[in-house]
Amino acid sequence: MNTPSIGIGLLGMGVVGSEVARSLLQQADRLEQQVGRPLALISVLVREVARPRDPAIPPSLMTTSLQDVLGNPGIQVVVEVMGGLRPAYEAIRSALSQGKHVVTANKEVMANHGPELVRLAEDREVNLLYEASVGGGIPIIGPLRKDLLANQVSSIHAIINGTTNYILTRMSHEGASFEATLRQAQELGYAEANPANDVDGTDAAYKLAILSSLAFHSQVTGVDVYREGIAKLTALDFRYAHELGYAIKLLAIARREDSALSLRVHPCLVPEDHLLAKVDGVFNAIEVEGDLVGKVVFHGQGAGPKPTASAVLGDILEAARGIAAGRKPPRGGNLHNGLRILPIEELVTQYYLRVTVTDRAGVLAKITTVLGDLNISIASVIQKASDAASQTAELVIMTHLAKEAHVQEAVRRMARLDVVREVSNVLRVEQRA
Ligand SMILES: NC(=O)c1ccc[n+]([C@@H]2O[C@H](COP(=O)([O-])OP(=O)(O)OC[C@H]3O[C@@H](n4cnc5c(N)ncnc54)[C@H](OP(=O)(O)O)[C@@H]3O)[C@@H](O)[C@H]2O)c1
């Protein structure tokens, strides 16, 4: 008698879905060996069947009806790789409600509805697996769910958006402007036609929310993460940062402070000799610090069809092995900690301030008075070349540890000084990464 197969339904067959479908069809023997039962790709949801697609994937598998996948009793594992919040969220919820296992690569859904969906999956005793939603092919959800579970995690420092890391790497190496580098990234396919979610930090904030829920056992959603994008950075910031011994990276940082969590995504000065400063181009890296393990770093390709399919297929195999063994998935959605989210104003860190001032005596005294009045002590001040035509000079100020609320107030007060033309940029410095 033939071993019964495990039915798979795919929602979406774009960059990631096509690679997953190809592997399910072409690597069927190898995958069967991993599970002990064959995996059968039964149905694939797309928007438009007629679109030209990989000839290896039979058109007879495709449908434009969600119900063909969700309503098919032969499908035990639903793989959501269509992206976006809607209708992906409803599709995942419906699949779980019907007792189907779900694998998803969707950070938007997991960042906004993860805790609720995890609870639903636990109620129905099915898997909800989402390794590909953060860091593409890099294993990070699995390690947080299992290998690092015994740790009290104190912090996460991550580069988890390949598009912005590519742009920052080019700006740093070539001294080019943000706008020119973004255009180049779009031409090369490293940035989307609408790059807003990447550039303004939203994508990284979603991913940090997913990691933080898992790492700190506390409910975190996308809106809990403070975010600033990279569009204000200029070639000058990279030059000055380099002179001071720093790289500039878009970091996603989660830190436990007693019974609260500090969660933020913003461009950051990172010491040049730190591991994260050396993560270049579209690569991602995630550093997790736990009380038992110390610091561990996960590094690799954070996107692309094959790395992402690696994570999706790993999840499919995990779900299928559980089905084959008749095993219930472990309960993993424990959000018992209920940590308070710290407002950004309470952050204490070091700052880099770039201030354009009129080039005359007494300017520095006025600026240091503003900072001193707010308890912000200066670690160093460098006056950069003056511009004779506009009679301005640029000051680069590095502070010692200071409170964000005080720095924001100092920036407002400085902007009102007659000697200050502009507070050109304010960046946080992460020495503790
Ligand atoms: N691309 C990556 O490197 C990467 C990395 C990590 C995670 N992810 C995540 O993986 C997911 C998929 O990304 P992708 O790059 O593969 O996306 P994609 O290339 O845009 O593909 C989306 C697929 O979903 C189908 N689809 C979208 N909306 C639909 C709807 N309303 N009804 C029916 N079908 C619909 C599309 O159908 P048509 O083909 O007919 O248009 C297409 O096949 C996203 O959540 C993304 O964030 C992607």
Write the secondary structure of 28-78 as one string of H (helix), E (strand) and C (coil).
HHHHHHHHCCCEEEEEEECCCCCCCCCCCCCHHHEECCHHHHHCCCCEEEE
Residues within 6 Å of ligand 1 by CB: 12-17, 45-48, 51, 81-83, 87, 105-107, 132, 136, 303-304, 308
What pLDDT is recorded for position 241? Answer: 96
Q: Where are the domains of the chain?
A: 6-137+305-325, 141-301, 345-429
CATH topology of domain 6-137+305-325: Rossmann fold (3.40.50)
Ligand 1: centre distance to CA 81 (Å): 5
Ligand 1: centre distance to CA 12 (Å): 5
Q: What percent of the chain has pLDDT over 90?
A: 88
What pLDDT is recorded for position 386? Answer: 76
Residues 391-407 have pLDDT tens digits of 899 999 999 999 999 99
Rounded Cα distance between 368 and 353, Å, is 12
What pLDDT is recorded for position 333? Answer: 64
Ligand 1: centre distance to CA 198 (Å): 16
Average pLDDT on 291-313 reads 96
Ligand 1 probe mutation, 10, 18, 45, 46, most atoms within 8 A of CB: 46
Total Cβ atoms within 10 A of residue 66? 17
Question: Does residue 160 surpass a pLDDT of 80?
Answer: yes
What DSSP character marks residue 102? E
Average pLDDT on 14-43 reads 96
Give the global pTM: 0.96
Q: Which ligand 1 atom is nearest residue 49's CA? A: 40
Question: Angle, to 10 degrees, between the axis of helix 305-325 and the axis of helix 28-35?
Answer: 40
What pLDDT is recorded for position 1? Answer: 56
What pLDDT is recorded for position 331? Answer: 77
CATH architecture of 345-429: 2-Layer Sandwich (3.30)
Paired residues of 7 in beta bridges = 40, 75
Q: Which of 142-156, 162-176, 179-193, 409-423 has the lowest mean pLDDT?
A: 179-193
Question: Does residue 356 surpass a pLDDT of 70?
Answer: yes
Q: What percent of the chain has pLDDT over 70?
A: 99
What pLDDT is recorded for position 76? Answer: 98
Chain-wide mean pLDDT for the chain? Answer: 95
Q: Which ligand 1 atom is nearest residue 136's CA? A: 6
What pLDDT is recorded for position 372? Answer: 96
Rounded Cα distance between 56 and 36, Å, is 24
CATH architecture of 141-301: 2-Layer Sandwich (3.30)
What pLDDT is recorded for position 319? Answer: 98
SS3 for 120-160 is HHHHHCCCEECHHHCCCCCCCHHHHHHHCCCCCEEEEEEEC
Contact by Cβ (8 Å): 175, 238: yes
What DSSP character marks residue 329? P
The protein residue whose alpha carbon is closest to atom 12 in ligand 1 is: 81
Residue 334 pLDDT grade (very low, low, confident, very high; cuts 50, 70, 90): confident
Residue 432 pLDDT grade (very low, low, confident, very high; cuts 50, 70, 90): low
Rounded Cα distance between 401 and 376, Å, is 8
Q: Which residues are catalytic?
A: 207
What pLDDT is recorded for position 246? Answer: 97
Residues 71-130 have pLDDT tens digits of 999 999 999 999 999 999 999 999 999 999 999 999 999 999 999 999 999 999 999 999
Residues 6+ apart with CB under 8 A from 141: 129, 130, 131, 133, 134, 210, 211, 214
Rounded Cα distance between 314 and 320, Å, is 10
